[in-house]
Amino acid sequence: KLILALSLAFLACSHGKEVGIRRYDGYQVYSVTAQNKEQYQALWDVYMNNEGVLDFWTDPVIGGKTDVMVPPEEENVFKLFLAKNGMSYKVKVSNVQEIIDEEKAANDQAKARSGSKRISWDSYARYAEIESFVNELPTINSIASVETIGTSFENRKLYAVKISTSPNNRKAILIDANIHAREWITSATATWIMNELVTKPSEYADVLDGIDYYIIPSINVDGYEYSQTTDRMWRKTRSQNPGSTCRGCDPNRNFPFKFGGEGTSANPCTDTFKGPSALSEKETKAVSDYVNGLLAKDVNILAYLSFHSYGQYWLLPWGYTANAYPADYADQLSLGNAALSAIQAVHGTRYVTGTGADVLYGVGGASDDWAKDAGIKYTVTVEMRDTGRYGFVLPPGQIVANAEETMAAVKEVAKRVRSE
Ligand code: ARG
Ligand code: ZN
């Protein structure tokens, strides 16, 4: 109760200053341990009701760690809350602004060094750079073709790239990335993968043989640009909510499967706002139309990967509620374990696999379950690097390593899909 009252007060006075770049001076990230149901429930209540004053970088789990970003003015209240509930915590990031500044410096340096306009994967690209990159791909190699699959709320074009070494429709893998704005590593990884396949197809015969790729490099483009220019921690879309000053909804709660179910909020000011209705967002509608269009044309999509960060998880269906498993769960799990070994073999990075709801928490309206429900055999949410040292603010120096290990996992998926 106390924490809520103070949080609302803070919200009220922070409302006026939507000008300039939002700063995170003195914001800390606590890694909180909830050991039992009571502690978890207490944390969950704060999570669902605090309207983004405390930003949960990861969602509450029992018996594990939950990363919570705490503004300096909330520190005492939150510590009191933790103490009252007997929860322990560790400070994981002592000043979020510091890691944002470091990331920006590394990014600016890399861009100054490379000089060229083409993306180089030692920095995070802006939307315009991703746009010219995808449009250049077909001129480099005709195995790539670009399609505009819609426009965003702020009228940016949404792109999908098909990469195929055959004129015939073959078994296919579809990838969506950057549904969440602040998860910059996901679009960087998607573009890296496209670039590798298009510029060095002979090195990737084991990936390209017999399989077509449909890749949406950045779907929440408005949110992505907003996170680049205004608020590094923005997650949602940027649509307007009638009757509210809070913008956007969580696009990964906006798909028409278990819409409004567990882990979703009806409050536009929270980070898990499901939106006014399923597919209310132009961006999710575009993905849905695109995928349904492909399925209607008998494109044999056998795997759907949704790129997120962070936590290093390979999340299997079902994700909408705990202890729910599709009939083919053994197949999902064996591919998951193969992917984990492949990932670890590249740079030693360890992932964890299991259903989205068992490993993390139940989520209604997510793209992974929606795709599984649409009949796609293998559906995965890939939560990329890291485990919270930098969280969403992954240094650009890790883009290539993250992408390389992800490519190793994609290779495993391709192998599996080929044998289906
Ligand atoms: N971090 C992702 C999210 O909150 C995880 C989604 C996993 N999928 C699921 N259906 N639980 O959207
Ligand atoms: Zn995400």
Question: Using CA positions, which residue lies closest to atom 11 of ligand 1?
Answer: 319
383 given a catalytic annotation: yes
Q: Say whether the ipTM exceeds 0.90.
A: yes
Note the pLDDT tens digit of each residue in 199-221: 999 999 999 999 999 999 999 99
**Ligand that comes closest to the CA of residue 186:** 2
103, 281, 383, 412: the catalytic one is 383
pLDDT of 7 higher than 80:
no
**Average of per-residue pLDDT across 290-309:** 98
Q: Strand, helix or coil at 67? A: strand
Res. 325 pLDDT band, cuts 50 70 90: very high
| Residue showing tokens 């009220």 | 12
Widest pairwise Cα distance in the chain: 64
Check: CB of residue 400 under 8 Å from CB of residue 104.
no
Ligand 1 site, residue 380, Cβ cutoff 6 A: no
Note the pLDDT tens digit of each residue in 226-280: 999 999 999 999 999 999 999 999 999 999 999 999 999 999 999 999 999 999 9
Pocket test for ligand 1, best of 220, 249, 252, 323 (most atoms within 8 A of CB): 252
User: 372, 251, 355: which is closest to 301 by C-alpha?
Assistant: 372
Task: Report the distance separating Cα 17 and Cα 10, nearest Å.
Answer: 12
Note the pLDDT tens digit of each residue in 370-395: 999 999 999 999 999 999 999 999 99
Taking the CA of residue 253 as reference, the ligand 1 atom at the shortest distance is 12
Ligand 1 site, residue 384, Cβ cutoff 6 A: no
Task: Report the distance separating Cα 283 and Cα 271, nearest Å.
Answer: 17
Res. 19 pLDDT band, cuts 50 70 90: low
Per-residue pLDDT at 313: 98
- Report yes or no on whether pTM surpasses 0.90: yes
Pocket test for ligand 1, best of 253, 360, 382 (most atoms within 8 A of CB): 360
Question: Using CA positions, which residue lies closest to atom 1 of ligand 1?
Answer: 308
Taking the CA of residue 252 as reference, the ligand 1 atom at the shortest distance is 12
